[in-house]
Chain A
Amino acid sequence: MTKNTLNDKEMQEWIETEWGYEKLPMGGSVPYPGSSKFFKTGDWSPFKAVVDREKCTKCTTCFFLCPDSAIKMDEEEIPVMDFDYCKGCGICAEECPSDAIEMKDLTK
Chain B
Amino acid sequence: MTKAKVTKGKRIGMTGDEAVANAAAVINPDVVAAYPITPQTIIVEHFSDFVHDGEVDTEFVCVESEHSAMSACVGASATGARVFTASASQGVALMFEILFIASASRLPIVMSVANRALSGPINIHGELTDQTVCRDTGWISLFSESAQEAYDNTFLAFKIGEHPDVSLPVMFGLDGFILTHALEGVFPLDRKFSKDFLPEREMVHPTIPGNPVSSGLLALPNYYMEVKYQQELAMDAARKVIPKAFEEFGEKTGRYYKSVEGYQMEDAETALVTMGALSGTTKFVVDKLRKEGEKVGMIKVKTYRPFPADDLAKALKDVDAVGVIDRDLTFGAPGAALYTDLKTSLYDYKDRPQVFGYIAGIGGRDVLVKDYEYIYKQVLKNKGAEKAVPVEWIGLRK
Partners in one complex: yes
Which A residues contact B (CB, under 8 angstroms)? 1, 3-4, 18-21, 24-35
* Chain B nearest CB, measured from A66 CB (Å): 20
The reply to whether A24 and B230 form a contact with Cβ atoms under 8 Å apart is: yes
The reply to whether A33 and B217 form a contact with Cβ atoms under 8 Å apart is: no
Q: Of B183-191, B203-211, B259-267, B376-384, which stretch is located at the interface?
A: B203-211
**For A24, A28, A31, A33, which residue has the most chain B Cβ atoms within 10 angstroms?**
A28
Q: How far is the CA of A33 from the CA of B207 in the complex (A)?
A: 11
The reply to whether B213 and A29 form a contact with Cβ atoms under 8 Å apart is: yes
The reply to whether A29 and B167 form a contact with Cβ atoms under 8 Å apart is: no
The reply to whether B219 and A28 form a contact with Cβ atoms under 8 Å apart is: yes
Query: Using a CB-CB cutoff of 8 Å, which residues 212-248 of chain B contact chain A?
Result: 212-217, 219, 222-223, 226-227, 229-230, 233
Residues of the A chain whose Cβ atoms lie less than 8 Å from the Cβ of B212? 32-34
For A4, give the chain B residue with the smallest CB separation.
B211
Q: Mind listing 5 A-B residue pairs with CB under 8 Å?
A: A21-B226, A21-B230, A24-B227, A26-B106, A28-B230
Q: How far is the CA of A34 from the CA of B213 in the complex (A)?
A: 9
Q: How far is the CA of A21 from the CA of B231 in the complex (A)?
A: 10
Closest 7 CB pairs of A and B: A33-B212, A29-B215, A28-B227, A27-B106, A30-B214, A21-B226, A31-B205
The reply to whether B214 and A27 form a contact with Cβ atoms under 8 Å apart is: no
Q: How far is the CA of A18 from the CA of B226 in the complex (A)?
A: 10
* Chain B nearest CB, measured from A36 CB (Å): 8
* Chain B nearest CB, measured from A29 CB (Å): 4
Q: How far is the CA of A8 from the CA of B105 in the complex (A)?
A: 26
Q: A30-B214, A30-B217 are in contact. Are A24 and B223 (CB under 8 A)?
A: yes
Instruction: Tell which of B105, B226, B233 touches A29, judged by Cβ atoms closer than 8 Å.
Output: B105
Residues of the A chain whose Cβ atoms lie less than 8 Å from the Cβ of B213? 29-31, 33
Q: How far is the CA of A32 from the CA of B217 in the complex (A)?
A: 13
Q: How far is the CA of A18 from the CA of B219 in the complex (A)?
A: 12
Q: How far is the CA of A19 from the CA of B211 in the complex (A)?
A: 22
The reply to whether B223 and A28 form a contact with Cβ atoms under 8 Å apart is: yes
Q: How far is the CA of A26 from the CA of B163 in the complex (A)?
A: 14
* Chain B nearest CB, measured from A34 CB (Å): 8
Q: Does B104 contact A (CB under 8 A)?
A: yes
Which B residues contact A (CB, under 8 angstroms)? 104-106, 167, 204-205, 210-217, 219, 222-223, 226-227, 229-230, 233
Q: How far is the CA of A20 from the CA of B229 in the complex (A)?
A: 10
Residues of the A chain whose Cβ atoms lie less than 8 Å from the Cβ of B219? 28
* Chain A nearest CB, measured from B167 CB (Å): 6
For B223, give the chain A residue with the smallest CB separation.
A28
Residues of the A chain whose Cβ atoms lie less than 8 Å from the Cβ of B226? 19-21, 24, 28
The reply to whether B210 and A29 form a contact with Cβ atoms under 8 Å apart is: no
Residues of the A chain whose Cβ atoms lie less than 8 Å from the Cβ of B229? 21
Q: How far is the CA of A16 from the CA of B295 in the complex (A)?
A: 64
Residues of the A chain whose Cβ atoms lie less than 8 Å from the Cβ of B233? 21
Instruction: Tell which of B104, B205, B211, B216 touches A25, judged by Cβ atoms closer than 8 Å.
Output: B205
Q: How far is the CA of A25 from the CA of B211 in the complex (A)?
A: 15
Q: A24-B227, A27-B227, A28-B226 are in contact. Are A3 and B211 (CB under 8 A)?
A: yes
Q: How far is the CA of A67 from the CA of B316 in the complex (A)?
A: 60
The reply to whether B215 and A27 form a contact with Cβ atoms under 8 Å apart is: yes
Q: How far is the CA of A4 from the CA of B207 in the complex (A)?
A: 12
The reply to whether A29 and B214 form a contact with Cβ atoms under 8 Å apart is: yes
**For B210, B215, B219, which residue has the most chain A Cβ atoms within 10 angstroms?**
B215
Residues of the B chain whose Cβ atoms lie less than 8 Å from the Cβ of A20? 226
Residues of the B chain whose Cβ atoms lie less than 8 Å from the Cβ of A28? 104, 217, 219, 223, 226-227, 230
Since A28-B104, A30-B217, A32-B212 are in contact, a sample of 10 more A-B pairs with Cβ atoms closer than 8 Å, ordered by chain A residue number, is A4-B211, A21-B229, A24-B223, A26-B230, A27-B105, A27-B216, A28-B227, A28-B230, A29-B105, A30-B213
For A33, give the chain B residue with the smallest CB separation.
B212
For A36, give the chain B residue with the smallest CB separation.
B214
The reply to whether A26 and B211 form a contact with Cβ atoms under 8 Å apart is: no
Q: How far is the CA of A31 from the CA of B205 in the complex (A)?
A: 6
Instruction: Tell which of B205, B214, B216, B222 touches A26, judged by Cβ atoms closer than 8 Å.
Output: B205
The reply to whether B167 and A26 form a contact with Cβ atoms under 8 Å apart is: yes
* Chain A nearest CB, measured from B159 CB (Å): 19
Q: How far is the CA of A31 from the CA of B214 in the complex (A)?
A: 6
* Chain B nearest CB, measured from A32 CB (Å): 8
The reply to whether B217 and A3 form a contact with Cβ atoms under 8 Å apart is: no
For B106, give the chain A residue with the smallest CB separation.
A27
Q: How far is the CA of A32 from the CA of B212 in the complex (A)?
A: 6
Residues of the B chain whose Cβ atoms lie less than 8 Å from the Cβ of A31? 204-205, 213
